Amino acid sequence: MTASPSNLPSRSPALSQEDQEVLDALNIRATPANTLRAYERDLLYVAAWKAARFGKALDWPEREEIALTFLLDHARDLKDAPLDDTARRTAEALIAQGLRKSLACPAPSTLDRRIASWLTFHQMKNLASPFDAPQVKQARARARRAAARPPTPKSQHPITRDVLEQLLATCQDSQRDCRDRALLMLGWASGGRRRSELTGLMREDVSLKDFDKSGVAWITLQDTKTTPKEETPRLVLKGRAAQALVHWIEVAEIDEGPLFRPVSKSDRVLTRRLSPDAVAQIVKRRLKLAGLPEGFASPHGLRSGFLTQAALDGAPIQAAMRLSRHRSMAQVQKYYDDVDIAENPATDLLG
């Protein structure tokens, strides 16, 4: 991790420096790169909040009253708070640093994530959690209820098969078109891949041993949010999607290294890895070329679109989950429920 050493908890006195370094390295190796980056961002936010609020660095373990104040400061909307309100002044300082967007009450999920990251650093050092104190736990539960809001979808619309076809129709024969076609089709047909999973793929993660015989490509996901490294999933890509992927590999002459790469303005394939943000730009550009409204869908629409289409086509939910790699059936069930209620004959009783 690259967080500032002054923000990190001190080493456990029960461990030698060598053992502590081994433990730190183990924690880092066992944690996905995206999660590590989220930990660092959240720790930076919490440290900046305490510095602005109290003029002090983080303590390890942190005191209960500090944790309680953090909860209270983030449990209300500060837009209408008096100008001299301490929580408001702290929030304005964080906005000035680019660490907070507005004075509005943060979403419960954002608050929960920052607290979870804070707790993770306590757990790494075997320190007591300030959020386990009864008063703090009660305040956290009440803050969550007070700030509850209807869940918003990560993508405004799912990219179902018909929408995907519109995006693919904008891809012609340039290197960029070949890449975008392969990325969109792999991202959708392999189960609705996350951005980090797409950009984390290496050429070595793609096996074409069965492609000539059966038109099948095998994909090994090394970097996934929900799967332990010892359970690296192997996914199958068939038909047009497999053909698009092989075509991209051939025209880009990718023998090793990152599978999806930037393409220069002169249509030259670069050697570095495509960034997750670039995937969002690819989806945005293809939506625009397809004549769809701006903001119609985000990259997560590939994931939600795959599951929605699986429900529309009557694919068993367990089969869809084997590809999407969801751990919770309840998360996937909502896509099936949305389709079921729309197709329910009782909704047509009035004609």
Q: Residue 314's domain spans which residues? A: 161-345
> How far are the Cα atoms of 181, 242, 252 from residue 166, in angstroms, in the given order?
11, 19, 24
Q: Is residue 101 part of a domain?
A: yes
Range from 16-20, 60-64, 169-173, 178-182 carrying the lowest mean pLDDT: 16-20
C-alpha to C-alpha distance for 173 and 169, rounded to whole angstroms = 11
**Backbone φ, ψ for residue 172 (5° rounding):** -105, -120
3-state SS, residue 58: coil
Q: Is residue 130 part of a domain?
A: yes
**Predicted local distance difference test score (pLDDT) of residue 330:** 79
Q: Is 216 exposed, middle or buried (0-12, 13-18, 19+ CB in 10 A)?
A: middle
Are 123 and 181 contained in the same domain?
A: no
pLDDT of residue 4 exceeding 60: no
Contacts of 205 by beta carbon, 8 Å cutoff, 6+ apart:
219, 220, 221, 222, 259
Domain end, chosen from 146, 175, 202, is at 146
pLDDT of residue 161 exceeding 60: yes
In the block, tokens 């197709």 appear at: 343
The H or E element that residue 207 is part of is strand 206-207
3-state SS, residue 344: coil
Are 190 and 275 contained in the same domain?
A: yes
Are 49 and 169 contained in the same domain?
A: no
Are 175 and 284 contained in the same domain?
A: yes
pLDDT of residue 15 exceeding 70: no
Are 135 and 189 contained in the same domain?
A: no
Residue pLDDT, tens place only, 181-216: 999 999 999 999 999 899 999 999 999 999 999 999
pLDDT of residue 270 exceeding 50: yes
Domain end, chosen from 122, 146, 170, is at 146
**Predicted local distance difference test score (pLDDT) of residue 24:** 66
Residue pLDDT, tens place only, 305-315: 999 898 888 88
Are 18 and 76 contained in the same domain?
A: yes
3-state SS, residue 209: coil
Are 142 and 52 contained in the same domain?
A: yes
Q: Is residue 45 part of a domain?
A: yes
C-alpha to C-alpha distance for 231 and 103, rounded to whole angstroms = 42
Residue pLDDT, tens place only, 223-267: 665 555 556 678 889 999 999 999 999 999 999 999 999 999 999
Which amino acid does the sequence have at 148? Answer: A
Q: What domain count does the chain have? A: 2
Residue pLDDT, tens place only, 313-346: 888 888 888 888 888 787 788 877 777 676 666 6
Are 181 and 49 contained in the same domain?
A: no
Q: Where are the alpha helices (DSSP H) in the chain?
A: 17-29, 33-54, 64-73, 86-96, 108-124, 134-146, 161-168, 175-189, 195-200, 211-214, 239-251, 276-289, 300-312, 317-324, 329-343
**Backbone φ, ψ for residue 217 (5° rounding):** -115, 140
**Predicted local distance difference test score (pLDDT) of residue 174:** 95
- Evaluate whether 184 touches 168 at the Cβ level (below 8 Å): yes
Domain end, chosen from 85, 111, 146, is at 146
Residue 226: CATH number of its domain: 1.10.443.10
Band of the pLDDT at 90, cuts 50, 70, 90? very high
DSSP 123-190: HHTT---GGGSHHHHHHHHHHHHHT------SSSS---HHHHHHHHTT--SSHHHHHHHHHHHHHHHT
Are 12 and 48 contained in the same domain?
A: yes
Q: Look over the chain and give the mean of its residue pLDDT values, rounded to a whole number.
A: 85
Q: Is residue 155 part of a domain?
A: no
Are 109 and 220 contained in the same domain?
A: no
Are 67 and 195 contained in the same domain?
A: no
C-alpha to C-alpha distance for 127 and 125, rounded to whole angstroms = 5
Band of the pLDDT at 5, cuts 50, 70, 90? very low
Are 176 and 315 contained in the same domain?
A: yes
CA nearest 158: which of 291, 277, 328, 334? 334
Q: Is residue 141 part of a domain?
A: yes
| pTM for the model | 0.65
Residue 111: CATH number of its domain: 1.10.150.130
Which amino acid does the sequence have at 301? Answer: G
**Predicted local distance difference test score (pLDDT) of residue 285:** 96
